[in-house]
Structure 1
Amino acid sequence: MAITKQYSMFLVLFFYFTTISISTPVLAQLSVGFYATTCPSVFDTVRTATLSAINTEARMGASLIRLFFHDCFVNGCDGGILLVDTPAVPGEQTVFPNAGSLRGYDVIDNIKTQVDTACGGPVVSCADILAIAARDSLVALGGPSYSIPVGRRDAIAPNRAGANNELPLAGEPLNVLLDKFRRKGFTTAEELVALSGAHTVGQAQCAVYRDRIHNDANIDPAYAASLRPNCPSTSSPATDGNLAPLDPQTPTRFDNNYFNAVINRRTVLRSDQALFNGSGGPTDSIVIGYSNNPTTFSCDFANAMVKMGNLSPLTGTQGEIRRDCKRIN
């Protein structure tokens, strides 16, 4: 059975990459072997550094996956999220969807230092390092592996307006989520639901889910009650940052239990529960399918991650290869 699953994954990714290379010329400039001569150890270096970071702090794997999503969903995977604010150019890190919640910047900086040392200089972009680290985090947490075409270059400016307006938010309804994903080229509801499955790992802050557990009707009452002592109804600096897992069953393991939580209304984010209403909603059947078939979920998730990694990359002479991920050269 294990061999069959791996072979199925290979076929899905093979046809996906073939379609990309034929239909999208700019993506032909990305390839798995892009650094084969200039930095052949890049994948090993990033993997070792990523695993070290996760071993130091278990939450970091989920944080790096989320950081990758928030980079790619705005202006394509260009490392724009890594740029810090300057007096002249405010960046993406401090906009509402990112401020106080995105993590892992220091880990990417550390990996960049190690990669540049291994390569003899700034050869690999920060955007590629983040893409590889997200994949390695996924694998470390028990998720599927996939090949990553590389060769992205780094943005020379952030897109603060895009970060403010284009990222999906935790309280948005299904129709808004579907529209935001379609605008990025995710044309099927399966892609939205599959990528939402990344919430099988990670946690949310009380300030984000407080209103849901105290006021929403479409949440399991016993589950909501269990969360309230750690997240009282009144906002307070002492409790706003208190965490609750996005997947209450296996919060540190990448699997399909997240979809069981959605079906059972044991979710802390409204955007997660929006995927399933139990009354034949547009994505109900997809959620049920993924809850019953972890192999299908893993394949669809891997394909969607590859697609997201190929959103509007900077290639060739576009952008730059940053020496410091936090700042333009």
Structure 2
Amino acid sequence: MAISLQCFLFLICISIFSSTMAATDPPLTLNYYKSTCPNVFDIVKKEMECHVLSDPRNAAFVLRLHFHDCFVQGCDGSILLDDTIELQGEKKASTNGLNSLKGFRIIDKIKNKLESECPGIVSCADILTIAARDAVILVGGPYWHVPVGRKDSKTASYDLAMENIPSANEGLLSIIAKFLYQGLSVTDMVALSGAHTIGMARCESFRARIYGDFEATSGKNPISDSYLSELRSVCPAIIGSGDNNVTAMDNVTPNLFDNSFYHTLLRGEGLLNSDQELYSSLFGIETKSLVQKYAADPVAFFNQFSDSMVKLGNITNSYSFVNGEVRKNCRFVNT
């Protein structure tokens, strides 16, 4: 009980700190580009339509990029920066999957279109935020308004990427702490985790889960046993063997944004330990209730996901807002 109390007090302190920091963030507006680049939303939408229609997995790639961007220095496009002699980027951090993040070329193409239409106006951070919204819509998810006006950071932080981004095998209390640090509630955390209803995971991320407590959470029945056997055929037990093999995080409707992810957790078949913890952790009284709610009510899930995505996108970098720039190339700071 003493450990639980310490964790609780620690989380409260973090929550207060993050709320104080969020209060100083600069405001974003829906009409920021109304006079300077009025077609920005249409251009992003058309490009995303092309990429998602050609491969639905691109929706998950872009959505994941946005999440990983916002959890490090706020939503400032720092995740898009390549390594240079002067700058160490975030792409090679192990929490970013050691170069497993994808979707960068999609953002590059959108940026090129916008530079032709209105050069030097639209930030890469805004492009990524808008594209993430459109990605969700294109695979059946909800709509939400995207406030814009972000600036691009001139820096990145490998260290913060290692510290701030939840890992696949992390425990529930640690994940909650990381979300609270960003000013996001437990409700936001459970709703945003629903993004795993689309996308794939690498063997390295789920090996410990399928050779660990998967059987205990799913129960021994023919269907779950068959699914586990399939997962183990994709991901061998030997570390380093098949690390880059992938499988869908939602094996029922992997290319459709719906609430199927939560049903997976109810069955105890969550692919990632960090996901199954939402339902199975002893500390997850609130998270378990939310998983049950979103599994039973897809409208409630969509509504909360939309609200939580706005909150995620509003995690701004005050320093970059004042000292940042609009990059000409999303991969490099302006010279």
Q: TM-score, normalised by structure 1?
A: 0.88
Q: CA deviation at 1:58?
A: 1.8
State the SS of the aligned residue for 1:227: helix
Indicate the residue corresponding to 1:199 in structure 2: 196
**Identity between Structure 1 and Structure 2 (%):** 39
Q: Is the 8 A contact 1:148 1:306 kept in 2?
A: yes
Deviations 1:2-43 (A, max 9, x none): xxxxxxxxxxxxxxxxxx9xx946443x11100000000000
Quickly say closer, same or farther: Cα 1:278–1:221, change in 2 above 3 A.
Answer: farther
| Bigger shift: residues 272-281 or 241-250 | 272-281
Distance 1:66 1:242 in 2: 18
Quickly say closer, same or farther: Cα 1:316–1:173, change in 2 above 3 A.
Answer: closer
Q: Is the 8 A contact 2:197 2:261 kept in 1?
A: yes
Q: CA deviation at 1:278?
A: 8.0
Q: CA deviation at 1:189?
A: 1.5
Indicate the residue corresponding to 1:245 in structure 2: 248
Counterparts of 1:290-305 in structure 2, within 5 Å, are 290-305=294-309
Q: CA deviation at 1:161?
A: 1.1
Q: Is the 8 A contact 1:47 1:136 kept in 2?
A: yes
Indicate the residue corresponding to 1:264 in structure 2: 267
Indicate the residue corresponding to 1:105 in structure 2: 104
Deviations 1:77-113 (A, max 9, x none): 0000000011232110111111232111111011000
Distance 1:207 1:262 in 2: 20
Q: Which runs of 4+ in 1 moved over 6 A?
A: none
Counterparts of 1:41-80 in structure 2, within 5 Å, are 41-80=39-78
Counterparts of 1:298-313 in structure 2, within 5 Å, are 298-313=302-317
Measured on the aligned residues, the alpha-carbon RMSD in Å equals 1.8
The amino acid that maps onto 2:29 is: S
Q: Is the 8 A contact 1:27 1:310 kept in 2?
A: no
Distance 2:60 2:25 in 1: 30
Q: Is the 8 A contact 1:213 1:225 kept in 2?
A: no
| Bigger shift: residues 306-315 or 77-86 | 306-315
Indicate the residue corresponding to 1:322 in structure 2: 327
Indicate the residue corresponding to 2:209 in structure 1: 212
Distance 2:285 2:226 in 1: 24
Gaps of 5+ in 2: 1-18, 219-223
The amino acid that maps onto 1:103 is: K
Q: CA deviation at 1:211?
A: 2.1
The amino acid that maps onto 1:295 is: V
Counterparts of 1:1-329 in structure 2, within 5 Å, are 24=23, 26-28=25-27, 30-98=28-96, 99-119=98-118, 121-186=119-184, 188-216=185-213, 217-219=216-218, 220-236=224-240, 239-277=242-280, 281-314=285-318, 317-329=322-334
Q: Is the 8 A contact 2:26 2:321 kept in 1?
A: no
Q: Is the 8 A contact 1:263 1:278 kept in 2?
A: no
Q: CA deviation at 1:215?
A: 2.4
Distance 1:229 1:296 in 2: 36
Deviations 1:53-75 (A, max 9, x none): 11222211001000000000111
Deviations 1:260-315 (A, max 9, x none): 00110112100000000287733111100000011111111111100010112457
Q: Is the 8 A contact 2:217 2:269 kept in 1?
A: no
